[in-house]
Amino acid sequence: MSNKQPKIYQSAQAFSELFLAAVIWGFGFTATVWALKSIDPISLTVVRFSAAFIIGIILYKVYQILTPHAPAVSHRTHFIYSMLPGFFLSMTLAFQTWGLELTTATNSGFITTLYVVLVPLFQKIFFKRKIPMIHGLWVVLALVGTALMIQFEMGDFNIGDILTFVCAIFAALQIIWIGRIQNKIQSAFLFNAYQSLWSALSALLLVPFYGALYIRAFDNLAIFGMLSVTLGSTLLAFALQVRAQKILTPSVASMIYLMESPFAAIFAVLLLKEVISPLQLGGGILIFVSAIGATINERARASSQKADPLA
């Protein structure tokens, strides 16, 4: 993403890239259902991130061969700075899976999205970043939309809900940390390859805490699911996240990530024959409106600060 482009085009491109990532992650829910027929969750996590790292490094080497005059990029820098995001990402998926074993899918879906609240909250507490009131309103609207999407109902919370909340904390930390180290990232694609390596290694640490691992015979759908979460959700979508967050703040980016929820529902209806209600459809629309509204407000605020540095 060239910094020579006008700011308005950079923001539009970043939004488009995160929108595409949300579509890919939305399909990833269906792809994961297919893959889990033949492999357990922890093994799936290790395999998808390991494969993404290997394929990513190979593709980057090919890119270097084809573009010998491209600016040099430090592998060591990307290797080091991707460590924490990779760990956070792996823990996000691990605690989400662990929590799902002890709570309902509905509770898990809603509690996981609390990262959209935690991101601006952590930024304010730890980095003294001011969060505009209008952004808080968009967050509330997005959470209402998410609650409608997954038909969330308040009930008795259990240990699974607590584990899922830990997942939301790690998701927020990953989003924030990507934003904090953007000046160190020369190549979003290479950074994500190393982030995938650290995610795979982190997942291996959790093997002793899980039950029996299994890998069964793969049918065509399971193979396609594995390829989709590896090449799409992991290799491409997370690279788009890193790239887009060079322009968008973590708070705004976290809002756009919520759009994976309505896309997950759309693909579930089309491919898994699930049924979506009018309320769920309305919830999806609220999420779209909130993400677009937050992006427009952020762009307007950035333009205002550029015009008046004292604002």
Q: Does position 170 have pLDDT exceeding 80, yes or no?
A: yes
Mean predicted lDDT score pLDDT of the chain: 84
Measured CA to CA, the distance from residue 129 to residue 249 in angstroms comes to 11
Contact 234, 24 (CB under 8 A): no
Tell me the per-residue pLDDT of 33-65, one tens digit each, with 9 for 90 and over: 888 888 888 888 899 999 999 999 999 999 999
State residue 310's pLDDT score: 39
pLDDT at residue 171 in the model: 92
Higher confidence at residue 11 or residue 164?
164
Reported as a pLDDT band with limits 50, 70 and 90, residue 136 is confident
pLDDT of 295 strictly over 60: yes
**Top-confidence residue, 254 or 307:** 254
Q: Is the pLDDT of residue 309 over 50?
A: no
Answer yes or no: is pLDDT of 21 > 70.
yes
The per-residue pLDDT for range 250-273, each reduced to its tens digit, is 888 888 888 887 888 788 888 888
